[in-house]
Each structure stands twice: as structure tokens, then as C-alpha cells.
Structure 1
């Protein structure tokens, strides 16, 4: 495996409610290092401390926090060995900030902090989509976000691999087979 830590940092991104976190949990059960989604951690922290950096209150502040968290996650992940699977990435956070601000931040930040060249995207899967206390947007907003990410990753030099709509264990096998990681 490449000695550059970024070559070991595999992103699982895509449509909200498409099964990313469930796939990440399966990869963790199989012994792989994982990094939980920054957004969920930020929401939990903001609610506890009464903050406003919540996607439904101040999306720009939320995206800024997600960028900070994603950068810290990369730093901590560099200490791990083997594949490290990220539930979303710095790219997701910067694309959200670009969307809400109407400015372009993605290229310089994302080129300076790379991940594995292949990014796995969960496509929209409306049958799985479910709201909860932290996911207050509807499936239409989730699909719009997916479209932005599907366009951004290749523009930033990543190869996008769409995850098939198959059961979670088979999805994990698909990712690991694609990476050739079963032996690791």
C-alpha cells in the first residue's frame, strides 16, 4: 500500500440517507479504521452547547465547522495504519460552503488535502431515506446535495464509483473488492 496517507483515506460520500453510515459501520465491524460523519458530531456538539452552527439554522457556520472537523479528522487518521474509511470528507464540507456562500473555496483547499483517488458515492435511494432529529431536510434537498457532490468530486480530480443498491454486507464486499483490500 502507498506510503502517502492520502492513498489510504477512502471516502464514502453521496446522497444523504443513501446508506453511508450503515456501510461505514459494517466496515468498522470488519476491523477497518473509520471516521464518523463530521456533520452528526457537529450537530450533537452544537445542541449540547446551545450553538447555532446547525444546518437548519446557519448552514455557512455549519459548513465552516465541518471543514475544521474534516481537517482534524485527516490529521488523526494519518496515525492509523491500513485503509481508513471516511463517512463524508473535506470535499463535502467545502462544497456545502460553496453552495451556501456562492463563492468558490473547493479547488485550493481540496487540492491541498487529498484522499484516495477513488471516491465511493451512495446514489439517491428514496426507499431508505428517513428524517430524524439531525436530518431535517427532505429527499429533494438530499438529491440536490448529491448532484453537487457527484459533479464536484470529478472536477477535483477524483474517480467516482457509484455504490450499487445492494444489502450492506455486499456493499462492503464491493468496496473492499474494488480496493483489493480483502488481504489487508
Structure 2
């Protein structure tokens, strides 16, 4: 069975409202897959390890790829018959590597091309009114804007249709996505 039709990616830079939007979609009855980055950062900090974006970028990228792949494979095993919304997808790791100016290993490109999501990828643009830093989100506003640009380029290069989610209420954002997926009756 081709699961890619059911796997919807929400992506974008930090602090753009992805988590809030995912919670709204979950409230509406959809299955969601939370982002792995914050969990990885917390685990690395607790273990006093270096797989952090501000310490060992390559190690962090490999941890992200492994976690994203595991999340993807777990959803395949669950054999969903409705949409599953992912807070970031495997290609986000490629975008992170590109942003950091690191070499992208062929294995990573193969992984991103082999594990496909729905052809429509929803990207949330930088939004200064809701952007905040915290202990796990250390990017500057300029880095957040750059992340958006590189995420868009990365998904486009992989053949996805990029749909920018408007800056509006969380309910309107959810309805926008469902309408774009022809699911406005949910």
C-alpha cells in the first residue's frame, strides 16, 4: 500500500506555529506525529552529550534523520486510512544540513527520496508576531527566515508541491490545509 498519500508534512522555520496547528488538527480527530528535534535536544542536554545543533551539527543531523525515519516507519506499520500530519519530515534534515553548510551524504538524499510523503507539503512562513526563543530554540529571527527559504527549496528539489499556510488563526490555518487536501468537511 502507498502510504505517502496519507502522510502530510507541516514544515517551516522555528516558532511559526507548527505545534499549535498540529494540536488543532489532532483535536479535529487526525493523527499527528510530533517533531523529534526538541526531544533530541532535551535528551542530549540531560545526557551531557554533544548531539546538539550548537555543538556537533553532524551528530545532531544524524540523530534527526534516524528519529524522522523511525517515526515514518512507525506510521507505516500502523496502516492508516486517514491523514497523518507530521511536524517536519525527513527532508527537513537535508535542509538543516544545507543551512549549516555541511556536506550532504548520498545516503541522506537516498533516504529522503525513498521515504515519500503526500505530494503537497504545507510550509508555515516566518511570523514575527508569534516568534519566541526559549532554551531549545536559539535561532535568531534572520536564521528563522533563512530556514523558511531553505526548507522551501529542499522540498521543491525533491518534487513536492509547496503550499504556504497563511498567517491567520489556528482554526483558519487548519481549515486552509484540509481544504487544500479536499477535506473541508471535517
Classify the TM-score, shorter chain. Answer: over 0.9
Deviations 1:25-82 (A, max 9, x none): 1111111110111101111211222221111222221111000000000011111521
Q: Which runs of 5+ in 2 are unaligned?
A: none
Structure 2 SS opposite 1:51: coil
| 1:94 aligns to 2:94 (yes or no) | yes
Structure 2 SS opposite 1:23: helix
Deviations 1:145-183 (A, max 9, x none): 111111111111000000001100110011111112245
What is the correspondence of 1:143-182 to structure 2 with a 5 Å cutoff? 143-182=145-184
- Whole-angstrom distance in 1 between the partners of 2:39 and 2:103: 25
Q: In the alignment, which residue of structure 1 is the partner of 2:140?
A: 138
Q: In the alignment, which residue of structure 2 is the partner of 1:113?
A: 115
What is the correspondence of 1:76-91 to structure 2 with a 5 Å cutoff? 76-78=74-76, 79-81=78-80, 82-91=82-91
Residues matched between the structures, number: 182
Structure 1 SS opposite 2:95: helix
Q: Which runs of 5+ in 1 are unaligned?
A: none
- Whole-angstrom distance in 2 between the partners of 1:64 and 1:152: 17
- 2:14–2:139 Cα contact (<8 Å) kept: no
- Whole-angstrom distance in 2 between the partners of 1:17 and 1:75: 27
What is the TM-score when the length of structure 2 is the normalising length? 0.92
The Cα shift of 1:15 comes to 2.0
Moved over 4 A (4+): none
- 1:33–1:80 Cα contact (<8 Å) kept: no
What is the TM-score when the length of structure 1 is the normalising length? 0.92
